[in-house]
């Protein structure tokens, strides 16, 4: 089993003969709106898709989406939905998003909260995500994370778009996933508080987890304030030895 970092939240999880596309934002560089207008905002995404995506995209046979409503194009944009629709790729999603995705012409398999859903020959559970706190949170779509357990494989928790909540702290403390995909980019609009993990929360997550953390949501959208280079600086400063920082197009083998 391996994960290939594509761009921002977009990844491909490879398991046996399957390749599962996660949160497909597939637009070309600069083809999507700005998310900041003060102090350095630019049309998104800031970078093109890596060449690796062209190599593996024809092998994609399933998709998994953490959230997609209220204009969250960074997890499902028009090119992403077109990719899934034209290829008739089945989509796993939160049951809450089923109607929305069906209107886009996508084939959906809804996943229910508070239970273990079937996922290939293993299980997948939904973990509530909190996309920011305070006033900004009322404007956001609060999706889910996914906890995946497959036979003879390390466990994997994809956090989705979230800050570090008490519910997530309790979940990680109890389950201790072998791998956690974490949104370390500290996204923040021109106003309001951060809507992804802050630097402080990333440090706390690293210390809370006994597994390895795969960092993403960096260097691709104009409102993400933490870059890969900044995160690596924090890792050195605080001796965070369990964080992996893949480049776009890089694959990580999820082995014990």
The CATH number linked to 161 is: 3.60.15.10
Q: Average of pLDDT values for 20-41?
A: 92
| pLDDT at site 41 | 77
pLDDT digits (tens, 9 = 90+) for 196-245: 999 999 999 999 999 999 999 999 999 999 999 999 999 999 999 999 99
| pLDDT at site 142 | 65
- Structural domains in the chain (count): 1
pLDDT digits (tens, 9 = 90+) for 156-203: 999 999 999 999 999 999 999 999 999 999 999 888 789 899 999 999
Strands 251-253 and 91-94: unpaired
Does 101 fall in a domain?
Answer: yes
Does 252 fall in a domain?
Answer: no
| pLDDT at site 141 | 66
pLDDT digits (tens, 9 = 90+) for 86-114: 999 999 999 999 999 999 999 999 999 99
What's phi and psi for 216, nearest 5 deg? -145, -165
Does 149 fall in a domain?
Answer: yes
Cα-based torsion angle of the residue sequence 80, 138, 33, 193 in order, rounded to the nearest 10 degrees: -120
Does 254 fall in a domain?
Answer: no
Burial class from Cβ neighbours inside 10 Å (0-12, 13-18, 19+) for residue 164 reads buried
If you average pLDDT over every residue of the chain, what do you get? 94
Q: Average of pLDDT values for 4-32?
A: 97
Do residues 180 and 203 touch, judged by C-beta distance below 8 A? no
Do residues 52 and 4 touch, judged by C-beta distance below 8 A? yes
Does 251 fall in a domain?
Answer: no
Full residue range of the structural domain in which residue 231 is found: 2-246
pLDDT digits (tens, 9 = 90+) for 120-161: 999 999 999 987 676 666 555 668 999 999 999 999 999 999
Does 189 fall in a domain?
Answer: yes
Beta-carbon contacts of residue 4 (< 8 Å; ≥ 6 apart): 11, 12, 14, 52, 56, 249, 250, 251, 252
Does 162 fall in a domain?
Answer: yes
pTM, entire model: 0.95
Does 256 fall in a domain?
Answer: no
| Total residues belonging to the chain | 256
């Amino acid at each position: 089993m391996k994960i290939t970092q594509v761009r921002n939240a977009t990844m491909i999880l490879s398991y046996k003969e399957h390749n599962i596309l996660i949160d497909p934002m597939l637009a070309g560089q600069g083809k999507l709106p700005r998310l900041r207008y003060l102090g350095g905002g630019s049309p998104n995404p800031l970078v093109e898709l890596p060449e690796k995506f062209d190599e593996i995209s024809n092998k994609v046979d399933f998709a998994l989406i953490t959230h997609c409503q209220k204009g969250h194009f960074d997890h499902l944009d028009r090119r992403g939905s077109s990719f899934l629709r034209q290829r008739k790729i089945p989509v796993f999603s939160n049951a809450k998003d089923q109607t929305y995705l069906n209107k886009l012409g996508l084939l959906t398999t809804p996943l229910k909260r508070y239970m273990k859903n079937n996922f290939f020959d293993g299980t997948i559970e939904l973990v509530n995500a909190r996309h920011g706190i305070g006033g900004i949170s009322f404007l956001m779509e609060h999706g889910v994370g996914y906890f995946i357990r497959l036979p003879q494989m390390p466990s994997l928790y994809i956090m989705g778009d979230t800050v570090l909540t008490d519910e997530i702290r309790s979940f990680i403390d109890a389950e201790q996933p072998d791998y956690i995909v974490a949104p370390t980019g500290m996204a923040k609009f021109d106003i309001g508080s951060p809507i992804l993990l802050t630097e402080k929360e990333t440090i706390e997550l690293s210390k809370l987890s006994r597994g390895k953390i795969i960092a993403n949501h960096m260097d691709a959208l104009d409102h993400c304030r933490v870059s890969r280079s900044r995160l690596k600086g924090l890792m050195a400063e605080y001796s965070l030895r369990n964080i992996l920082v893949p480049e776009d197009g890089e694959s990580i083998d999820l082995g014990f």
